[in-house]
Amino acid sequence: GENVEQHPSTLSVQEGDSAVIKCTYSDSASNYFPWYKQELGKRPQLIIDIRSNVGEKKDQRIAVTLNKTAKHFSLHITETQPEDSAVYFCAAPSGAGSYQLTFGKGTKLSVIP
Amino acid sequence: DAGVIQSPRHEVTEMGQEVTLRCKPISGHNSLFWYRQTMMRGLELLIYFNNNVPIDDSGMPEDRFSAKMPNASFSTLKIQPSEPRDSAVYFCASSLGLLAGNTGELFFGEGSRLTVL
């Protein structure tokens, strides 16, 4: 099955700085890489995803990059704001076309005002 | 649509008791997932249904855990007998799957927080 490693487990940044969270995966057939945000006491929600046919995708202050050769992908948040404080999870499916997502252990991001 | 609906939101029970968690997926979604979240192990996939049929239950920890999906709008996760180590937040999620034109996004319910004393 898929193995997803996520780093760091915790991250503190000053408001306005950038944050980067990295994930690696094991199944070279995986082709879909989403990121979920979970605020305290809430449900995880999708914030951005990328498919294997592109190397980068941006949506306002967040971006995701993918390196299929190295089997890693990263989440970049620029101009961080206090409301970005949450736990972020990366995920990968168990092979191409699979519906099952394996999640990383999560990164707790704290944005200090 | 009201989203994925789970009940109960909180459950406190004593060791040995039976626990039943319920889930109503988003109408039209053909895939349903049960996840368990703990601080130590993160989000673990327990079981996955596609078109009401269990596809992969390899994540179900023990025979004490069972899940059913009798129709497209309802699923249950049962623990019998419950143990303190089962304490966690259990999330149900539904999806359109990775079919052509669909994104594969998982829509999670609010979760059921289970505490077994």
Q: Residue B17 corresponds to which tokens in the numbers above? A: 């008791």
Cα A49 from Cα A36, distance rounded (Å): 9
Long-range CB pairs of B47-56 (<8 Å, 24+ gap) are: B47/B77, B48/A99, B48/A100, B49/B75, B50/A99, B50/B97, B55/A99, B56/A100
**Stretch 24-43 of chain A: residues touching chain B, C-beta under 8 Å:** 32, 34, 36, 42-43
Q: Which residues of B touch A51 (CB under 8 A)?
A: none
- Least Cα distance to A97 among A27, A45, A37 occurs for A27
Closest-CA residue of A relative to B90 is A43
What one-letter code names the amino acid at A100? Answer: Q
In chain A, the percentage of residues whose pLDDT exceeds 70 is 97
Query: pLDDT of A47-102, one tens digit each?
Result: 999 988 888 999 999 999 999 999 999 999 999 999 999 999 999 987 666 778 89
Q: Which residues of B touch A89 (CB under 8 A)?
A: 42-43
* Max CA separation in chain B (angstroms): 46
Phi, psi of B86 (to 5 degrees): -85, -5
A100 touches chain B (CB under 8 A): yes
Cα A6 from Cα A89, distance rounded (Å): 8
Q: Which residues of chain B have pLDDT under 50?
A: none
Output the pLDDT for position B101: 60
| Residue A6 binned pLDDT confidence (cut-offs 50, 70, 90) | very high
Cα B31 from Cα B99, distance rounded (Å): 11
Torsion of the alpha carbons at B82, B83, B85 and B91, rounded to the nearest 10: 10
In chain A, the percentage of residues whose pLDDT exceeds 90 is 80
Measured in angstroms, the CA of B42 and the nearest CA of chain A are apart by: 5
Output the pLDDT for position A31: 86
Question: Does the bond joining A8 to the residue before it have cis omega, within 30 degrees of 0?
Answer: yes
Output the pLDDT for position A53: 80
Look at chain B and count its residues: 117
Cα A81 from Cα A76, distance rounded (Å): 13
Output the pLDDT for position A28: 86
Measured in angstroms, the CA of A106 and the nearest CA of chain B are apart by: 7
Mean of per-residue pLDDT scores for chain A: 93
A81 touches chain B (CB under 8 A): no
